[in-house]
Structure 1
Amino acid sequence: MTAEEQIARLEELAYFQEKLLTQLNEALIGQQKQLDALEKRLADMEENITTLLDASQDGPVNTLPPHYMPERY
């Protein structure tokens, strides 16, 4: 193998490695966008749950109705 063939082979390898790195980078960017969207959804759900829990604690207390008289039974 001549020096020119070796250089051509190395250039070919560098090209395909650069192409692969670009594809991997695009995949990583896509995954990060998905992760960011999921984290936002989770934060929104946590906020909704907190709001619901707070609202349920402010509601009426479960007590017996005024017409219930256990001594009658």
Structure 2
Amino acid sequence: MDKLQTVEERVAHLQRMVDDLSDVVARQDAEIRRLARHVGLLMEREADREAAEGAIPLTDQRPPHW
């Protein structure tokens, strides 16, 4: 019976760790999505600014080593 209790305790501990890690991954996913939206908005804003100045957008420029 002692071995069974030890195994049950380990399983409970592992389940708690899995739940905690799942929460961390969910928070990180939300943060990555939020940051990706911000980067997209910043890229659009910069492209609009460059277009207003008449400059070639950075995404259309060739790198200097080409």
TM-score interval, smaller chain: 0.7 to 0.9
Instruction: Select which of 27, 32, 53 maps to 2:29.
Output: 32
Does 2:54 align with 1:57? yes
TM-score, normalised via structure 2 length: 0.79
Instruction: Give the alignment's Cα RMSD to 1 decimal.
Output: 1.2
Rg comparison, structure with higher value: 1
Alignment counterpart, residue 9 of structure 1, candidates 6, 11, 19: 6
Distance in 1 separating the partners of 2:53 and 2:30: 35
Runs (4 or more) in structure 1 with deviation over 3 Å come to none
Q: CA deviation at 1:37?
A: 0.4
For 1:37, give the aligned amino acid: R
Q: How many residues are paired up?
A: 55
- RCO comparison, higher one (Cα < 8 Å, 6+): 2
- Counterpart-to-counterpart distance in 1, 2:45 and 2:12: 50
Which TM-score applies when normalising by structure 1?
A: 0.72
Stretches of structure 1 lacking an aligned partner (at least 5 in a row): 59-73
